[in-house]
Structure 1
Amino acid sequence: MITATGLRWIMTVLFCALTLYGVWRALASGSAHGSAHAHAGHPWVARLAHLLHAVMALAMLAMVWPWGMDLLVVPQVVFFSLAAGWFLLAAVAWPGEPARGRALLSVLPHAVMTGAMAWMVAAMAWGTSMGSMGGGGEAMADMPGMDMQGMDMSGSGAAGAMELTGAGDRWSAGVLAFVLLVLALWWLTRGFDTGRRAPRPDADGVGPDGVRGALDLGCHGAMALGMAVMFVVMV
């Protein structure tokens, strides 16, 4: 959860746009053509990949708001862990045009991102402190059945209400933030280059495959960047 109003709304708009884009790419006719996924030669696989990205963006949208902390944790962790494995399996079983090794390397960033999503959900639920509760921490500590051991209730974070307390978790979050930032810059750079080389849309306003591929890369980069920000807030 993010307590800074400005950052919260920026992340909300970002993840909302990514959710809508992922759903549109999953449902639109011919969504597999021009896809940034290595297995774009298989329409149903590419559609499912876009749908998984939409679900991840929606989950990130929920994390920004307080009500997102009330969502069930285990189903989310299981879902995103399976999604990470699915990207790797899809690249091996249905590699598409590139060789199987190249396809596996191409989807590895998506597997890393969905795996990081599973880790984030678990860490926010089981290894964080409620910084925004301020003085309420002492009252909660006196409540029956409330074990506050290991919980930092000092409330130092101005941007996020959830902060990791364990040194290992904080280092892991920092490493994941760095990795996601690198992926974001890599995807965004490729997206800009692809869009610059792509032909202009035709007279009917239908964009060529290169434009869709550039948009896919840009959205992947935006997702990775948004996740990196969330990890920084947790640290």
Structure 2
Amino acid sequence: MSATSVVHGMLTALFAAAAVYALRQAVLTRGCGWRGRGDSLLHTVMASAMAVMPWYGIGDGPSPGRTAFFFAAAALWFPSTAVLRLRGPRWVGLMRRSPHSVGMAAMAWMPVRHGGTTNAQIGGVVTGVLTLCLLAYALRSLTRDMPALRGRPGSAGFSTDLAGTYDRFWHGSTAMGTAIVLLMHH
């Protein structure tokens, strides 16, 4: 088995598990509302597509135009639902939802980039910006709950919110995997 096949297998396992987790969130979580269910279903579709992408490539699936359009619409879902939110400052909602929008934008960008319809220099810049945003979000999500960074029990930084910890783990892992796939050559 080649090193590339091992990496593809690890990415497939990561994204398949993330898809199952997101689907579970969409179906079993009570009180998350229409926005939460929509978020989870979009994450399920994204993770499912990412699970097969290393093996088949981007151009082997549905039309690249339709794929790019779907994920571009999904990227717009997150900021638009933050703006439509009735409670709290809208800019806070936009900031919290922007990493999910960036992940969907990366999914929309992949078929365009691999389709060869963009200027190579501009394509490199867009890929680089998306990758840096995904990596920053992944590192923040994955290190936020590390015991040494949380503080001692009873301190202000200590948290026992396991649901939030699981969400941050899966979102951070998916962002890291998306950054890897974004940089992979098919």
TM-score, structure 2 as length reference: 0.83
Identity across the alignment (%): 32
In the alignment, is residue 197 of structure 1 matched against residue 159 of structure 2? yes
Looking at structure 2, the residues matched to 186 and 31 of structure 1 have their Cα atoms a distance apart, in angstroms, of 27
Partner of 2:120: 166
Shift of 1:233: 1.8
Cα gap change, 1:69 to 1:187, in 2 (>3 Å): same
> How many pairs were matched up?
176
Q: 2:172 aligns with which of 218, 221, 235?
A: 221
Contact 2:72 2:104 in 1 (8 A): yes
Q: Do residues 88 (structure 1) and 79 (structure 2) align? A: yes
Instruction: Describe the SS at the equivalent of 2:30.
Output: coil
Instruction: Report the equivalent of 1:159.
Output: none
After the TM superposition, which residues 70-109 of structure 1 pair with which residues of structure 2 at under 5 Å, given as runs?
70-72=60-62, 73-96=64-87, 98-109=88-99
Query: Which of 28, 39, 54 is equivalent to 1:49?
Result: 39
- The residue that corresponds to 2:9 in the other structure is 9
Does 21-30 or 61-70 show the bigger shift? 61-70
Structural RMSD (CA): 2.8
Return the alpha-carbon distance in structure 2 between the equivalents of residues 58 and 52 of structure 1. Answer: 10
**Residue of structure 2 in register with 1:180 after alignment:** 134
Higher helix share: 2
For 1:9-66, what per-residue CA distance to the aligned partner results, in whole angstroms no more than 9, with x for missing partners? 000100000110010000004262xxxxxxxxxx121111011111111111121112
1:139 — aligned with what?
Answer: none
5+ long unaligned stretches in structure 1: 33-42, 129-163, 199-209
Q: Given residue 214 of structure 1, which amino acid in structure 2 is its aligned partner? A: T
Residue pair 2:102, 2:130 contacting (<8 A) in 1 also: no
- 1:55-70 to structure 2, matched below 5 A, reads 55-66=45-56, 69-70=59-60
Distance 1:224 1:81 in 2: 17
Alignment of 1:80-159 (within 5 A): 80-96=71-87, 98-124=88-114, 126-127=115-116
Contact residue 99 and residue 133 of structure 2 kept, 8 A: no
Residue 191 (structure 1) shift: 4.6
Residue by residue over 1:52-108, the C-alpha shift from the partner in whole angstroms, topping out at 9 and shown as x without a partner, is: 111111111121112653212122111111111111110011255x42221111111
Q: Distance in 2 between matches of 1:186 and 1:14?
A: 18
**Aligned 8 A contact 2:103 2:175 in 1:** yes
User: What secondary structure, in the 3-state scheme, does the structure 2 residue paired with 1:69 have?
Assistant: coil
Q: 2:83 is matched by which residue type in structure 1?
A: V
**Rg comparison, structure with higher value:** 1
Paired position in structure 2 for 1:26: 26
